[in-house]
Amino acid sequence: MTGPVRLTTPLGDEVLRLRAGDRIELSGIVYTARDEAHLRMQKDGIPFEPEGAVIYHCGPVIGNGRVIAAGPTTSARMNGMEGFLIDKGVRGLIGKGGMGATVRNQLKGKGVYFAFTGGCAALASSHMTLKGVFYEDLGMAEAVWAIEFDRLPLVVGIDSAGGDIFDAARKQADVAFGKYR
């Protein structure tokens, strides 16, 4: 694809046409969720409409009713916890570092994983407006924050056909540097 593809939540079947490496700009409501939030949603239910939703692996810094910083956390920590969200209709996951083969398989025909660069928390927050919070008792980093995105730049890291830029990079590194390990 040429240029970034503009997407707005809730996402639909348009994400199934995206391929690993495609650049996108995401707008609309997105929900943060890290480890504790995933566990709470498994126990108490998903506090938002999951159909077409996007989950951002992030523990934002919130102050004075706004998003101060919102960099991604390492997505692999949630490898064993995404299946129930994808089964309920979540179409997108955002984080850094990619996810494992289990999630790659769970996303097939259903959704995508978007990558955002770590260390860019201020850039991310400049594209965000705070809209609400669920499970505030979990604390700032673990609560589920509803955040409106305005054209946040992302890259498709794992597509709905199983393409995975992280897996491809690991394989290239093994070929190029395997003899040094």
Residue 29: other Cβ atoms inside 10 A: 18
Catalytic residue selected from 34, 38, 40, 96: 38
Q: Side chain identity at 40, as an amino acid letter?
A: R
CA distance 150 to 174: 38
CA distance 96 to 56: 10
C-beta separation of 121 from 70 below 8 A: yes
Residue 105 has which token pair? Answer: 């398989």
- Stated as kind and residue range, the H or E segment containing 154 is strand 144-158
Query: What is the DSSP-derived secondary structure letter of residue 138?
Result: G
- Active site includes 38? yes
Catalytic residue ranges: 38
